[in-house]
Structure 1
């Protein structure tokens, strides 16, 4: 399945933290879906800004224009469920001078495509509702291709009818497997299909323009996007209000709302039941409000349902990524809350039961995000919170406890302040460059640690995973390049680009309607050794076996992502070198017999299988068998691991759950990788590299 990350979607989903509401939707007549002069002006400005300032050089030629049209059709109809082949042929014929049209800001083709799309949606919804009055044969062996992006456009209505028959049958079977009655299934699907048509009818001209321009920008690179005036206003509101909500970033993926990431300290992450890749299929308000099916909803409308005031309850019906396309769902109740800085703060603990030898203790510092209280700093408060300040204090605490080494845990850390990534690196090195930043004009600037001295010069390891991104990658890369410590875990996310928000109005003098804003990729991060963190991320010195199944993840999974490249290295001096051969062999021997890693590896395999699945059976017995097999595969290894730790497994789907026992279970699973990282660092200490003692050399 093609992975797309629309930054407009990300901007919109930031409103999950806010309490503002969207305007009351209304049906927009087809006669209003034509471009206006303001959109023409905005398109011309966007062309010029992209061609001049985007990091990837853009040439608006015929080939690029064809790619934009293809992307727009794919974005509107990713599963080839609405347009017919002759529709697409007509669009392509009408766009033979599309490059010239776009350069002049002429958007007639884009709006024509959308008007046809809306009519095709009406036709398909009418047919889907007709199908709901029929009986389905769930004993018949046939398949439904739920990921049909590479399937040719349907040549006629009969072929499209067959695709929709399978689609509706699959929707029906999915709910049937979830033990819904036939009457409830028909009612729910009727509302779903009618809702699809209703929401498409609510698209106004600005919505169409934004959708098209994001197909345009997405053809260049996945982190550049356009925000219409309405979206910009909503974005501003969300940024000015307290971060109240569930603490999640969402994206649209075909007709599903998918959890892109969760925010440290937010209700979603703290619940332990909402994870990256999960699909939100239903939303309900309060403890007993009715659950609304949100499959096929616009992302903005799902966000509007989820967000709300502090202290209120929202219930989410979630289809876990591990369940694939089966009907296994769970309901999660979350209390919307303000996400405070201290909820994201670094914390530490000591691993003191290592198998490597008596008396060896390793300190662990967890860093969920790179944070800095800019408001307090701007107000002149000398005691403002920051990652670097908090970690410095934790190092002193661990030093006082007499630990033999430190593991910095950056798993799940999506980044944050670049200044903090630089200053945090400075706690472990004595002066020098940390990261290079190259802009769209080829100018390279170096972010440098300018404070002399170090806070800690003892044995060090950094634990990373596939969700470690941006500032996390900058820190890990610098530690690796200096030879200052071991990098352990999985290849990181690979987000090595820099975005800025541009107000398009500044490029057009005089009075005019608001033109909206452009989120623009304008620079790239490079390691001090010269290679970028983009796309490849940071490759660990010692890889965990879960990394073997990362086929589609992070920046690597996004269309049109900038490639990995390199520039000249900065001037720096390595402070050490890590010999990983013996450490890797020792770790592999331990992991081979470790029930915890067997469970994590099997989960990674399962996630890979889910990602690669393109179709499902429409035979009920086959689907039930598939669902049961996946569930058994998921739980068997987990239960075996927990019992090996003396923990009685908790059924997370039970009606009544012992929350304390569940927390113990989650902590045990979270500790599998960090405990092995501690053992690897202990191995390094025992093999004689460097001093076993911590020296805390604090800066003046």
Structure 2
């Protein structure tokens, strides 16, 4: 799945300067000619070549309007009912706007949105001057996607009063003083207010096009030039830059992490926490100040051509705002994004005095360097190649079984998924595709023999989608391994990317790309992964809510269907052994304290989710907090883990040190699902060994 770039995403990622802007007029954003042209071209493709074409008419117009409004105000906290009524009067004119290349309507809606952000944040800040009564019995609705819009200014103010009161109470229970709370929330609301002044025309257009394409089907999308470049980087697992992870903190672009062996780390001139206050190009290039700039803009300035020089004006982490800074030159290099690459670990599983080693290969995405492969580069980077190398290492380390961890792997390259399947089943069909004309094509792997023939498990969850589901489904259909975890996402559609500039021979390359659905995936057994996903052989508890996450949460998703099975030879061994594995699993987890605590946590989250509201009474909240603290304390005593209590802060409100410590704690926390998956495969190895004897 590709990441969708709406304005909600921007709210979480763009620069958020802490300084207060003087009262001034909001930027008047207007559609550009190239944007109107891109929307019109996209409509031509979507109405002619999509797998399930949807006519651009009044019905679709209404849907696009609803999607656009939802992307701006998903919690219905900004707009009023009067605003919505005004928008609705135009909701059947979106189709004409796209056809006539006049995007005034969505930009007008965004102008209203910007003003509402100013109104709401200004009011929220005014509430900080008063005290709140936390002895009253009040509740705040935390799930508001279906809530009614405020019908009056009084209703809106009451809603925001409860919102601010809840923010205050969280910080109060976390131990902050009233003075500290006022300072924290003042900065938080000011940051949200300041973002309105950083939006550009492309941001509005990207969000509108996301609303349009999502209205066709959940996986059709539009990407401006910048969004497309980010996707290419993620698929190649490499970029040209300085090798640093950047984050916006208090208006500064801050070094959050240095990539090992990257130019920044090797220079010895940059440290975690340092702030970039200026960027220049070339050894003598003028320094452009970037304090208060959007993070994505600063990143673009730092990236560049390989072996070129970028100049950075650095304010050290321990220096004040008026402290001494220094200018350094760094040569850009190709940086490998290893965190997104396949990795392995060995999990020992002990039972009845016997220790079995289970190799776990974690694959965050099915990546592939398309360009390098097409150019014939024999060393091109690909997920299946990396997994093959890790399998060889695990065989050398004499593991008894292997688990492929595909949790939250949203997909990627279809070819890599097919070739990775071949590592475990050898030569044979992997997936079927049916296009809009009903033609079916079978995709196969031609590997002469599998790289791993031992016990195998595939760990999935609701975030496992697309290429992950193709791999898991093929392993399940062949009876090659046991599928463990939560039912997968359910994305069984095929997309292709159309470069709009190439279509009209535009040399400026500013129209972007359109991703549209052109076919549907089918398992080799004839069923599809669409909508229903892959159901595990052995289910593990999961946190995802199927009502809000997964293909079934979309009201315009393609239906489940089936076609003729492909010719393949499944193994009967797995069907015979799964009941035994399930029996052992159920007996083990009943006695596993860590697993049972994990189940308790999930039940607590689900209970809160179903409730949908939170108390604004301090005594009740403290009672809830005490119950949680007791559970965390019991866990700490049992497994030595560090409890992570709610501090009421957002990520960029903590010190960088504290934020990194929390991230490390989460990373090092016990992964009970991985541990149990390894135990299941150890059981499989034991049963296989017993059968052999």
Q: TM-score, normalised by structure 2?
A: 0.74
Deviation string for 1:495-541 (max 9, x for gaps)?
Answer: 43344433222343567883233233334332111222233322111
Other structure's SS at 1:75 match: helix
2:97 is aligned to 101
Asked if the contact 1:346–1:366 (Cα under 8 Å) also holds between the matched residues in 2, the reply is yes
Residue 562 of structure 1: CA displacement?
3.9
Aligned to 1:583: 581
Q: 1:673 aligns with which of 666, 672, 676?
A: 676
Q: How far apart are residue 125 of structure 1 and its match?
A: 3.0
Q: 1:222 aligned to 215, 218, 221, which one?
A: 218
> Structure 1 residues 304, 557: CA separation in 2 closer, same or farther (over 3 Å shift)?
farther
- Verify: 1:600 aligned to 2:595, yes or no: no
The alpha-carbon deviation at position 237 of structure 1 amounts to 8.3
Q: Give the secondary structure class of the aligned counterpart of 2:44.
A: helix
Q: How many residues align?
A: 610
Counterpart of 1:184 (choices 159, 180, 193) is 180
Question: What CA deviation, in whole Å up to 9, does each residue of 1:591-618 have, x standing for no partner?
Answer: 2122122122223223433544522122
**Structure 2 vs 1, CA of residues 93 and 572 (structure 1 numbering), >3 Å: closer, same or farther?**
same
Q: Secondary structure at the match of 2:465?
A: coil
Instruction: List alignment gaps of at least 5 residues for structure 1.
Output: 20-24, 251-262, 268-284, 291-299, 316-336, 643-647, 693-700
Matched, 1:344 2:332: no
CA distance in 2 between counterparts of 1:391 and 1:80 reads 45
Matches of 2:207 and 2:246, distance apart in 1: 25
Structure 2 residue runs without a partner (length 5+): 16-20, 249-256, 261-270, 277-292, 304-311, 318-333, 648-656
The answer to whether the Cα contact below 8 Å between 1:80 and 1:151 also exists between their aligned partners in 2 is yes
Distance 1:526 1:414 in 2: 18
Q: Does 1:7 align with 2:35?
A: no
Match of 1:274 in 2: none
Whether 2:127 is the aligned partner of 1:124: answer: no
Q: Does 1:198 align with 2:194?
A: yes
Pairing partner for 1:465 from 455, 461, 468: 461
The separation in 2 between residues aligned to 1:38 and 1:400, in whole angstroms, is 57
State the shift of 1:480 in Å: 0.9
CA deviation map 1:211-256 (0-9, x unaligned): 22222222223333333456557777887425945599x9xxxxxx
Q: Which secondary structure state, in structure 1, belongs to the residue aligned with residue 359 of structure 2? A: strand
Aligned residue number for residue 240 of structure 2: 241
Tell me, in whole angstroms, the C-alpha distance in 2 between the residues paired with 1:78 and 1:504: 30
Q: For residues 62-211 of structure 1, what are the structure 2 equivalents within 5 Å?
A: 62-211=58-207
Aligned pairs for 1:473-552 within 5 A: 473-508=469-504, 514-546=510-542, 552=548
Distance 1:266 1:553 in 2: 32
Distance 2:382 2:35 in 1: 42
SS in 2 for 1:514: coil
CA RMSD of aligned residues (A): 4.6
CA contact (8 A) 2:26 2:115 kept: no
1:551/1:608 contact within 8 Å kept: no
Q: Please, which moves more after superposition, 492-501 or 648-657?
A: 648-657
Secondary structure, aligned partner of 1:575: coil
C-alpha contact 1:550 1:608 (8 A) present in aligned 2: no
Distance 2:239 2:126 in 1: 47
The change in CA–CA distance for 1:495 and 1:603 in structure 2 (over 3 A counts) is farther
Q: Cα distance, 1:154 vs. partner?
A: 1.7
Residue 569 to residue 9, structure 1, CA distance change in 2 (3 Å): farther
Offset at residue 43 of structure 1 (A): 2.0
Shift of 1:665: 6.5
2:280: which partner in 1?
Answer: none
Question: 1:188 aligns to what SS in structure 2?
Answer: helix
The residue that corresponds to 1:614 in the other structure is 612
- Following the alignment from structure 2 to structure 1, what is the Cα–Cα distance between the partners of residues 37 and 544? 49
Q: CA separation in 2, counterparts of 1:301 and 1:360? A: 52
CA displacement, residues 303-325 of structure 1 (integer Å, 9 cap, x when unaligned): 6799998999999xxxxxxxxxx
1:339/1:11 CA distance change after superposition, 3 Å:
farther
Structure 1 pair 266/177, CA: closer, same or farther in 2 (3 Å)? farther
Which position in structure 1 is the counterpart of 2:361?
A: 366
Which protein has greater RCO, CA pairs closer than 8 Å, 6+ apart? 1
Residue aligning to 2:449: 453
Question: Whole-Å Cα distance in 1 between the matches of residues 547 and 80 of structure 2?
Answer: 32
Q: Is the 8 A contact 1:550 1:604 kept in 2?
A: no
